[in-house]
Structure 1
């Protein structure tokens, strides 16, 4: 993966972060819910329950937002350099980790930290440390 620093746009990154924060705050204020993707998807997969409508709307919004963005700007090209089995294994590990961690990076990192949750601080530190270690191991120890 190569980062094109000449095309880095801090204004759009800031705007995107502000929109994520605003959406999270509005969901908490009007619905009393945390905008953690694993909890939202998990609530749908657990079966019929109250609140399935807002959960589906949230997920549809996540899927439609890039399409709307594409109307106004060019989407960056995405290259995935891993095999399909590696991606499946990574997805399963992330899913298992979110169950053990009682939430995902969006729930703990965005919503939990903004609520000054000590549990979310520890979870976010562990998420980041695990990511750093994984990249180091894959890039340096397994690189041929």
Structure 2
């Protein structure tokens, strides 16, 4: 067998192998991109009541120019009244409807955490410093509200709404 016939015989096999490698690389790249997108707090999150353990509201977190903000987009359970207002708020949100209210402001990415912002608890009107961390492969969000030191606060785990 000559070198040219050997090359002609195996050339199609090399093309098949090359095509498979390219397809595998594309699939791996798209899976990596999907994972990278899921490690951001952007999305719709189901908040859980600390006392009852039941879903309380849906909060939609969006990102614009590196800053994340969160808005109440739906009340759940006892909180599903669309005309419910924030009577406990002490800032400009006092008396405003909770539905559509921006409760998270100024969060920015810092390593694997999102920090530097504020979060409003519309139940008591308190505004806390806030930091967040996406966990469990992007399925959960640990939201920590605190006054002063992050050690002196409380963490809620929100669940990504599918």
Question: Which structure is higher in strand share?
Answer: 2
Question: Which structure is higher in helix share?
Answer: 1
Settle same-fold status: TM greater than 0.5. Answer: no
Rg (Cα) greater in structure:
2
TM-score band w.r.t. shorter chain: under 0.3
What is the TM-score with the length of structure 1 in the denominator? 0.22
